[in-house]
Structure 1
C-alpha cells in the first residue's frame, strides 16, 4: 500500500512540476527539466501517520496522477522536444506590420494606408518621424522606441514572403519620389534597379539640403534593403547620390553622409570597393579624401612632433635635369656634385623645373611663409627658373594659409542703403536685451530710416508674437501700413507666420546679411543710444529703465541729427520740438489772419524740409562693389573669434550675387562681400556658371580647367 501511494505521489509531483514550468517566464534549460522528469525517486512528504501527503477532495488530480503513474518516464530527447514546444515564439511586430495586421506605433496607420494616402503628401512624410523605423526596419534600435529591431526568425520570414517583398519595393519607390528620385523605366512598366532624377527633383533636392535629417533616413533605407533581401537596389542609389554630390554638386550637405554612412551600408564588399573608387575619382580636394571607421583610423594618425615642421633635407630628392636644362648648364660656370645636383660658381644649387614646385611646397609646409619670404629664403641657396611665380602659386594654393591669412588688397567701399521716401514708410527692427525690470527683459526697437523717429516697446520675451502684437496694435494704428521693414536673421523675424502676415499686408520684409551689423546700422546705433541715455538717467534718478523709457524716447526724438541738423520730431511734424517754445505770440491775440499766415509758412517750411531731406538721401550704388560671380570658389570669414582656430572656412561655391552680397552653397543667409575672399584657382577641372545676359535667372554650366597664376 505504501508503494502505491509513493508512485501516485511521484506522478502528482511530476504533473505539478509540468504546470509550474509552463507558467514560468524564464524557462529552465532542457537538461535540468529532463533530469527532473527522469528522476527515479522523489522525496515524499510523510506525515506522522506514515502516509504521503496528497490533497484530498481532488478527484481529477487523483485520476491524472494514476494515469501519469502508468506512463513510463520520458527519455532525454523526448523531454527536449517537450520543452521546445513549450518555448514562447518570438514576437514579430515588423512582419505583422508588413502583413497589414497592425499599425505602426505610436498613433500610426496600417502600411496600406501609408502606401496609398501618404504617396504625395510630402509635408506629412517630412514632419512625421515615427513611420520610417517601421517602414524600413533594421537590426538596430532607432529613435522611435516603440519600434522593434529585426530578429533572425522575423528577417527570414520577411525575406521569404512575397507579399512583404512587394510592399517593401512599393515603400522604397514612395521614399524615392519624396527624395526627388525615380526608378528607371517605371513609367513604361519596364522597371530596373537603376534610378534617375524625377520631375520634381529641384524642389525635393532643396528640401534635402534644408533638412539634413533625411540623410539618416537614406542610411536606414539602405541598411533595411540589405537586411530584407533587396540589396540589388543599394548600389544604384548610392552611385546616383555620389554623382549628384561630387560631379553635379547639387547636394553638398550630403557629402560626409555619403562617404561615412551610405557606402558602408552596401552589403557586398566588391560593390563597396567599386563605389569608393568612383568617389575617389571625383572627390575634391584629393588630399582630404579619407574613408573608414574614424575611431580605427585615429589609431594610425601620427603623433604630432615638432620635427615634422622642420624643412626636409635636399637628399630626399633625386635631381633629374631635362635635355634642355643640361644643354644650358654646360654653358654655365660650375659643375655637378656627387649627389647629382648642379652647383653654380657662386654656390647656388640649380633646381630642375620638374622638382622646383615640389621642393618649394615642402619649404612652405614647414614655414607657411608668403611669396616674398620664400623668395628671400631660397634665393641665397638655390636658383629656380620662375621662382617668383612658383612661390606665389604655392602660397595661394595652401589651404592652411587660406584659412588663416587675412584678405589682401584694398578694401572696397561699403556702399549705401536706400531709405524710405516718406516718414514711417521704411522701418528697421531689432530686439535689444536689458536688465530684468518688473518682468520685462527685452526692448523691441523700430526706427524710421528717413526721419530717425524711434518707437520702443518693452517685452517679456523675444518671440514673433511680440513683433506681431506691436505691429498690429501700435505701429499700424498710429502711422498706417509701412511699405518696407528690415531686420536681421533672428528667430523672431524669420518665422513663417510673420513673413506670411507681411505678405498679406503688402509689406516688403528684408532680411539683412548675416554677421553684418552694419546692414541694420540705424537700429543698431539706436540701441546703443537708448542704452547710453538710460544708463545716465538711471544713475541720476535711481529709477528703473521701464519708468524712464517715455522720457528717454522724448529726448531722442527731439535731438537734431548730425547730418541734417534737424530732429526726428521736426522731420515728422514739420514744426519745432516741444522742448523749445518756438511759436511766438499768443494765438488768441494774433487772430485768424495771423494763424492762417503761420499755417502757410509752416507748409512752405515743410516743403523745404522735404526738399532738403531728398537732396541728402544717399544714392544706392548699382555697380557691383566686388568681383565675385556665380561659379567662383570663395572662403567665408569665421564669426567666432578663436585665437588659434582658422579664420576662414570653405571652400564654398557662389550661387548668386548682388552688388553688395553673395549667396553661397551650404549657407542659408546672404553674406556681405566684406566677409568673403576669393580662393586660388585649382588645376583640377571645375564647373563654371555662366549667366545669361538677357535673363539673369538662367544659368549655364560649363566644365573648364583653371590655370594657376
Structure 2
C-alpha cells in the first residue's frame, strides 16, 4: 500500500489524532465513538485501525479518528506521547522535538498549538509590571511580607487542657545545618523570637527534593493542635470554588503569595504555645505558624478582608483559595488593568508575590491543579504524564497513592467507581502485592480514561442543571450537564458503588438510591440552583410505593428528603437518550433499566415470593396452629429457652433449646419452621404473637434473600440460617397464612385461647431443662431405659450433631463409632458432679474422665463453667486477678524530681543489717546506704545528708507504707522541706516497680561480688553501685552517669572526652555541655512511659462478685477471702460489701455469684450396660419432670 503524505497541526489539547474525512487515505473503520469538539458538544466519530505512521525520521503506529468538523488534520496527545515529544519555546517560536536513539530530531518549526495544556510560569517580570515597586516581588533571601492592617491572631486553649511538653527528636548534623539559614533569616526579620516557655514541640526538618543539603523547616504541632479551641473552619471547597468564575471570563491572571502565613502576626499572649528547641535555645513564632490546625482558616479570613478593601473593576472577578488568587476578566485590557491595580493593592497591604509562579494576562492558566480557560476546565498535561508514567503498584501504599492521584481527576472519568473497584480490595493488604490480570486491566483503563478525559464546562448559575442518572451492576453513574445551545455540555461525571443492602434491591429501587446518592454528590456544585434529575424510572412513583418491606425507615426517609423535599429539584423520566447509560458496561442492554417498564409492577414481581404467604385467615383451612417461642429466666437462677406448636386442643410439638445458643427470636422462628413442617401438603392458618416472626415472613425474608442475608456493612444478619430454612419450609404447605395476634390477652375466643396454650407450652418446654430436682427426689441410679428416653428427648439438633460426628443408633441407644455412649446435654450436670466433687478435679481432669467413657460434645464448655462456679476452687486456686493501668507512674521532667525509696534486709554484717535504697525516676541513678536499723529517724537523716545536700530538694518521694516511711519524724521532715510524699498501695510491688527492680539487681550483684572477691556485702556495696550507675540501659542506651554528667565515665578504658578536647575555654565547655545534656534528656524523656497515654481500667462493675487475696495466711488456708459483692468502683479500686476500706482491683479475682449446691461424694464413673447403672446422681440434675411423667403414662 503506497504511503500518503499529510500536513498536520500539533494540538496538545486534542486527546486523539484526527484526520479530515476528505483528506484521509482509505483506512479500515473499526468502530464509532463520541468526542467533545471545540464547541464543547458531543459529536459521533469514526475510529480507524492502527497503521504505520512516519513523522520525520521517526516511525510509530497510530489509530486515527475521522471527522468532517475539524479545520485541519491534528496530531494529538496520543501521537506526541508515542513519539516522546517535547515542546520548547524560543524567541523564534515553539519547536517540537522528539527523542531518537542518537540525538533530538527537530520535527516542526514555528508551530503555534491550538490549545496548550501546560502553562509555564514567567521567570521574568512582564514589561507591564515593571513599574510596580520592586518590594512587591519575593526574592530568595529577601524579607517576608507583613499585613499591617490585620489584627494579630489570638489562639485559645481548651479549658483544663494540659500544656504539652514534647522533647525535641534527635536531629542529624545535616538537618541542623540545613535549617540554620532559615532560622537565622527568620530571627533577623522578627518572625522567630527567643523565648522561655513551658510548652515545647519538636522540629522535624524534611529534605527538599532535588536540592542536596537543603531542608524545609517543619514543626510537629500535633500536640498543640489537640489543646487548641478551634473555631469553625471557613475554607472554601477547592472543587466548587471554580463555580465563582463567570462564564464570560476569557482572560486570567494567577498570583501566588509567598510565605503567606508569615504575613499575619500572632498575639503575644499566645506565642508561648508554639515554642521549639534548636541547638539548646528555645524559640517561638511571632507570626502565624505553619502546621497549626487553624492557620488556613485564620489566614483565609485575613486575606478576605484585604480583598474586600480593594475596589474591583467592572467585568473582573477575584477568586481566592487561602493564598492562591485568580483574577478573571472579559477582555485582555481589563485583565491587564485589574491585575496591576490588584498587585498595587497587595503591595500596599504588605503582601509578597512570587514572580516565578506568576501567570499574567493569559487565556489559559493553571489554578488549584486545573487548567482553566473560557468556560471550561481540563486536566493538566503534567498530571496526565505523571499518571501515565506510574507503574503497576506493588504494595497497598502504592495502590492508595495511585487511586489518590487518579481520584483527583474523577470528575473527568465517567465510570471511575466501576474501573477502580478491583483495586479497592488491595488497599488493606499487607506485604508485597502481585496484581491479577483484572487488576492490571483496571490500572490500564484508568490511565486511558485520564488520557481521553474531555474538557468540562464551568458551572453557570444563570442556567439550570441537568443530572442524568443510571444504575447498573450495583454501580451508580451520572453526568451533570448544562445546556450549550441545543446540546448538553458536561460539568462533571460522578460515580459510586451501592452498598450491599441496596445492591440486592429491585432495579427500580436501586435507581432511586443511585439518584439520591448522585444528587448528594453534586450538591456542592449545584448550590441550590434549579436541578432536573433525569432517571429512566418513575422515581416519584417508586418512592411513594416503598415501605419498610423494601427498605428500612431511616433509608427510606433519607431518599425522600433528598429527592422529594428540596424545592429546586424536579424529577423527570428520561424521554431522550440518557448520557449516563452510554457508559460501557458488561451487561449493557440486559437489565430491566434498559427496557420500558412499569416500575410498580416490576417491584411487586421482585419482592413477591414464589408461594406468597397470606396475612389473613384462609377460609376452611385444614389446620389452625398456634406457635410461640420463649427465653426467660428461671426463678432459681439460669435461663431457659423453648418453643411449642399447638392446635385448638393439644400440644402437637414442643422442644427445649440451649439458652446460650438461642434467643426468643430464634425460638419463634423455629416454632414457625416446625408448624410449616406439620402442615406439609395442607392449608394452614398459623397464629403468632411475635411481631419479629411476623415481620420476617411478610416483610423482610424475601428482601434479605435478595441481598444474600447481608447487612449494609457486609456482615451476615442475625438468624440467617433459620430464615433461610423458614423460606424453604414455608413452601411445604399447599397454602398458608401467618396471622399476627395480640399477646397476653384474657381468654375470650378460640384465638386468645390457642395463643395462651402455645405460650404456656413454650414456657413449659423452656423449663424442661432448667427444672432443678431436689436431692431427696433424685433416683439412686440411671438405667438404660432412662438413658434411652434422655437421648430421644435431646432433640433433632443434638441428633444431627451426633450423626455428623459418626454416631449411630444400636438397640435404641445412641453410640459413637468407637463404642462410647452418647451423653445428651441433660446429663452434663450429673457427669460434672461425679467427676469434680469432692476432690475438686480441674476441668482438664473432668474432660479426660468423661471422654474416656462417654461421647459428650459440648461437655468441655460445661466443665469450664462448672469449675468457675465452684466457690471452693475459686478461693483456693491461684487464678488471674484483675489488671489495672499504671496511672500512678507520673512522668518526671528532669533528674531528681521524683525519687523512690525502699529498705532491703541482708545478713547482719558487723552492726549493719539493712540497706536504704534510693533511685532517681528520671536518670535511674541509684544511691544505697547500709544502716543498723530501719527507722523513720535514720531515713530522714540519710535523705537530708545524702540527697538534699548533694542533689537538692526533690518534688516527690515515693515509698511503701512501712513505719520507717510513715513515722512522725519522717513526715515532719517532708513537711518542713515542702516535699510531697506519695505512698503506694499495700501488697502491690508494681507500684514501687522501679526501686523493687533495683533492689533485685543490687542483691544479685552483691552476691556475685562477695563470692568472687570474698568481701563482705558492706565492702562490696560501692562496687555494685558503681556498676549500676555506669551500665547503659533502656531504649536510649544511656547510663545514669551519662544522663547526669553529659559524658561517659572514665572506667579505665580509653574513651576520649569530646567535651574537654574540643573546647579550650570553660565558657565553650559549659555551652557544649548544656547542648549535650539537652539532647540526652530529650532522649530519656521520650523513652519514659507516659501515664497520659495509658487507657482502660479493670473489668469489675457494681454488682459483680469477687474474692479478695489473703496476704497473711497459714498452711492449707484459702488464698482468697469472700465472696464479696462489689458496691462502687474507680479506675483502680473497688468498694465491697462488708469491708470498710477500698480494695485495689489487682487484689481481686472475679467469681460467679455464690450458690450452695449440695456436693456429692467422690464416685467412680463407668459406662452404662444392661446390668449396670450410673451411680447415684448429685444435684442439680437438669431433667424434665413433665417428660418423666409422660413416660410413666405411656
The interval holding the TM-score normalised by the smaller chain is: 0.3 to 0.5
TM-score (norm 1): 0.42
TM-score (norm 2): 0.26
Structure 1 or 2: more helix by fraction: 1
Larger RCO (alpha carbons 8 Å, 6+ apart):
2
Structure 1 or 2: more strand by fraction: 2
